[in-house]
Structure 1
Amino acid sequence: MGSRYWYWNHGRLANMSQTAAIHPSAHTKPQEAPKASGLLLAIILVGQFLAILNVNIVNVATPTIEADLHSSGAGLQMIVAGYTIVYAVLLITGARVGDLFGYRRAFLGGLAIFTLTTLVAGLAPSTGWLVASRLVQGAGAALMMPQVLTLIQRNYQGAARGRAIGLWSLVISGGIVVGQALGGILLGFGLGWRIVFLLLVPIGALLLVAGLRVLPADQGGHGTGLDPWGLVSLSAAVLLFVVPLVLGRDLGWPLWGWISMALSVVAFAAFVRIERWVTARGGRPLVDASVLRAPGMRPGLAILLFGPATWGAFLFTSALHLQGELHLSPLASGMMLVPCALAFGLVGLAWPRLPARLQRPLVPFGYVVAAPAYLGLGLAAGGGLPYAIMSALIGAGLGVQVAVTNMATEQVDGAYAADASGALLTVMQLGQVIGVSTVGTLFITLSQGHGTVSASLVSSIAMAGLAVVAGLSSLFLVRRRVPAAART
């Protein structure tokens, strides 16, 4: 059909061409920010922080978990990776659940699941209990996380929206660094592995109470169905891709892993065909294709694939190098990442306060800083002050990523916020997994034959290359002209 042909589907206006999800319209204009907007933002961002914290906070605790629970190597892998696998697989589904049943219900429901399973993990009497709790914890995080960006997009406008999305991006990337550092600090004080879970339980409980009082009431479901075939095909595609990437390195990259990744391409192709079929029949697809065609989304997704890939690779290889080659304690290695976290945070907080004419050009400039800093990191493998300086420069350079999400979603209609949120979060998570698996494998392979100093240098070159690709992608994003209406 042509671009002027529209249809009504259970009260929701949809465009059969490419434009429905792009420009905000009267019926989907974002709500005015509620009176408690500051508290609302604090609640959802702290919830997001808890979910992100759990990606890496367990990494440094695995030796003590192994000693206490007598865990096998496979058990330890699932304790660390199970959360990430379930989280990555269910992110887009979580976004659609919020669209169907209400963002408040989905956020609080996900937070409740996350908090309860965190308590179970902290009290787990065996490896099996800990693995099971981590899997369900990942599902709770996947239900909670997409609602954060969706609530921001639907409740904030103009400059307030830009600041809120900047903080959202800051928590996403900064929380990973803080998780790794905090895990090392807690264990460094001899508090045991259980504290990395139990510390989060009262925070989650307080957020639940506050969220029930502050989060705006849901106005009924916005979707028309969960698109079960799209859900099955996309979940299968992500699962088939993520599992071998997460587990393959420790298992020696077995044949089944390569077959699984090949099948993920088939599953994704099936997903695309299913979504086109659902759209042609007048249904609501799991991910509306017009969202991905919105100006800025495709370069934004590319940046959020390669940028987080460098981030995940850096955190993984730095932990191996600092503790393996330099023999630093978990506390000391965690403290070595503090300059990176501080620089990232300062840049992320400063960006929304800069004049509008400077904000967009700073994105590629950030990667101009980050790429050489990665190379410098390989030359500063001896640790100490040079390593801390390079780490801080990496954090400062990647801190500009806080701008990418806002720029990528400027022209996405608020009614399709869940689609954009699920897509962005999934791509970011996949980027981190790809970075850890590829650069991490390169680092481990080289360190076994040549030592971690040589491995650090080569892996730093790889991370710099990924940063260059992210920077080149950002040029397509910042060159795009944005209508004034989309910025207000």
Structure 2
Amino acid sequence: MERHETAAAPPGVLGGERNKGDARVTDIDESLQARGAAPPTPSPTPWRAVSVVMVGTFMAILDSFIVVVAEPAIKADLGASSGELQWIMAGYQLTYAVFLITGGRLGDLHGRKRIFTLGMALFTLSSTACALSGTAIALIAARLAQGLGAALMVPQVFAVITLLVPEKDRHRAFGVLGMVIGLATSGGQLIGGLLIGADLFGSGWRPVFWINVPIGLATILLAMRYVPESRATRARGIDIPGVTVLTIALFLVVFPLIQGHEAGWPWWTWASLAASVAAFAVFAHVERWIGNRGGDPLLRLSLFATRSFSVGIVLVLAIYAVLTSYYLVLSIALQDGLDMSALGAGLVYTPAALTFFVFSVIASRLVPKYGRRVLEIGAIVLAVGYASTVIVLTSGLQLTPGLIIPTLMLQSVGGGLLITPSLNAVLSRIDPDDVGLASGVLSTSQQVGGALGVAIIGLVFFSSFRPAAEGKVGAAAHALAMSSIFTLITAIVATLLVYLLPAGRARGGDRP
């Protein structure tokens, strides 16, 4: 593999030491040679490999949203109950969130290319099973397997970028990844609406899953051809006690967040959340005990002593609490309040998606020069965007797409400047041996943040949505305004977190 000549990045949150990218690429070759494996085929740039693995991220996030518009058709075709429909959505999110850290660790141990390819194969096979499902129970089982496939492949995407792309270009790679995430998030319902509206070969809702199959097969072949193998040099084995306790802890926090609203927040949801705190404490004790005995813990707690990582993880959790939940309640407001079709609601997102894309590109060009300042401006503009939504929706004007689209675009300006660099900020100072694990933690914070946001904003929205008293349009405007207040508060918290990120170059760590 070609050794990249990497200039020192200027001071800023994404800065790093000279030739840090070279050292990480060298680690890949040394890791392989230590195991008797040939180094990757020389390539002038890593962009083909990076582009291939980004497809995995797009597919994983898309399938969190594309099913939303398919639920009415699934209910009619399979006779699914409301509880079964909830699990068609929640089952995927549950296995996806719970196994992300384990998926990242497996990549460190057994090779990121191998685990990415395995995850994509499972995702593709389970998508086929989804499309062929004849009952709601079969579809739920296939969705559980699909979430597990996503959990295996997504952490490897962050790891491949961090390892292959030199420091001077990494902000560009994470900028593109941010665009991919934003487009998958905002485009899922639009793509789903187009596929269902087309009713290809009279297949109804099934193309939302069939579309994954040719893309998945092509991605597997391209990954085998262009993605070099890499693994951690220090990893010695899987930490079974750690995996077990962490899985239980994540289940205890994610399951009630996903199911709480549908179940009406009974006592067991709060008991589960309380039990998760104790489970995470047990996990920390287990990992510390294994590390003190010279073992190889699933999660090295020393990662959180690095301020860019610990603060960045909380920042990402806050951002995704806003990003995921707001698009979902907006879709409900447009469809249930304004009687728009799923395709029409998806088209409302299109200007915001394009704005996000443009400002993600702008962020990737500004970060090398201005560093953390770009994130600060992005966070402030994001907060202003939600504030403008609150003002517009409480102004007495009737809710229309034309009223809401400009505020969505303003939010996307801030999101494009903030979200894409924040991903790099989390991983920019992580040791190559820990990058898979750190990527799993990052991906988990995205999913947990999304589940937390949906739980809270869903509670706010539905408790405020009273069409019988205010009329559908007025009720939708009121509920969306109340939801926007929550997102505004969260965006302000994210702004404060940005100012806690280290502003200088990492030299031997950035511990406060």
- TM-score in terms of structure 2 length: 0.86
Q: Which amino acid aligns with 2:71?
A: T
- 2:23 counterpart residue number: 29
Structure 2 residue 406 is matched with structure 1 residue 389: yes
Residue 106 of structure 1 aligns to a residue in which SS? helix
- 1:51 counterpart residue number: 60
Structure 2 residue 249 is matched with structure 1 residue 237: yes
Q: How many pairs were matched up?
A: 465
- 1:406 counterpart residue number: 424
Q: Distance in 1 between matches of 2:379 and 2:365?
A: 20
- 2:35 counterpart residue number: none
- 2:166 counterpart residue number: 157
User: Can you list the C-alpha shifts for 1:318-348, whole angstroms capped at 9, x where unaligned?
Assistant: 0110001111011100100111211111111
State which drifts further: 358-367 or 54-63. 358-367
User: Can you list the C-alpha shifts for 1:245-287, whole angstroms capped at 9, x where unaligned?
Assistant: 1011011111111111111111101001011101111111111
State which drifts further: 287-296 or 91-100. 287-296
Structure 2 residue 457 is matched with structure 1 residue 439: yes
- 1:460 counterpart residue number: 484
Distance 1:59 1:219, change over 3 A: closer
Q: Distance in 1 between matches of 2:153 and 2:266?
A: 34
- 1:482 counterpart residue number: 505
Structure 2 residue 278 is matched with structure 1 residue 266: yes
Distance 1:253 1:26, change over 3 A: closer
Contact 2:22 2:166 (8 Å CA) reproduced: no
Structure 2 residue 103 is matched with structure 1 residue 67: no
User: Can you list the C-alpha shifts for 1:406-453, whole angstroms capped at 9, x where unaligned?
Assistant: 122222111110121011111111111111110111101110365222
**Residue correspondence of structure 1 range 57-456 to structure 2 within 5 A:** 57-191=66-200, 192-218=204-230, 222-354=234-366, 356-378=368-390, 379-380=392-393, 382-399=399-416, 400-448=418-466, 451-456=475-480
State which drifts further: 25-34 or 182-191. 25-34
Distance 1:133 1:352, change over 3 A: same
Contact 2:127 2:213 (8 Å CA) reproduced: yes
Residue 296 of structure 1 aligns to a residue in which SS? helix
Structure 2 unaligned regions, length at least 5? 1-15, 27-41
Contact 2:52 2:219 (8 Å CA) reproduced: yes
- 2:38 counterpart residue number: none
Contact 1:118 1:133 (8 Å CA) reproduced: yes
- TM-score in terms of structure 1 length: 0.91
User: Can you list the C-alpha shifts for 1:352-381, whole angstroms capped at 9, x where unaligned?
Assistant: 222633242121211211222223324246
The CA deviation at 1:41 is 1.1
Q: Distance in 1 between matches of 2:332 and 2:55?
A: 29
Structure 1 unaligned regions, length at least 5? 1-21
Q: Which amino acid aligns with 1:457?
A: A
Q: Which amino acid aligns with 1:393?
A: L
Q: Distance in 2 between matches of 1:229 and 1:441?
A: 35
Contact 1:110 1:142 (8 Å CA) reproduced: yes
Residue 263 of structure 2 aligns to a residue in which SS? coil
Residue 248 of structure 1 aligns to a residue in which SS? helix
Q: Distance in 1 between matches of 2:89 and 2:135?
A: 15
Q: Distance in 1 between matches of 2:351 and 2:329?
A: 17
Residue 264 of structure 2 aligns to a residue in which SS? coil
Contact 2:237 2:296 (8 Å CA) reproduced: yes
Q: Distance in 1 between matches of 2:237 and 2:122?
A: 23
Q: Which amino acid aligns with 1:245?
A: L
User: Can you list the C-alpha shifts for 1:216-264, whole angstroms capped at 9, x where unaligned?
Assistant: 1346875112111111111111101111110110111111111111111
Residue 357 of structure 1 aligns to a residue in which SS? helix
Fraction of identical pairs, as percent: 34
The CA deviation at 1:480 is 2.6
Q: Which amino acid aligns with 1:360?
A: R
Contact 1:92 1:423 (8 Å CA) reproduced: yes
Distance 1:161 1:335, change over 3 A: same
Contact 2:252 2:272 (8 Å CA) reproduced: yes
The CA deviation at 1:37 is 1.6
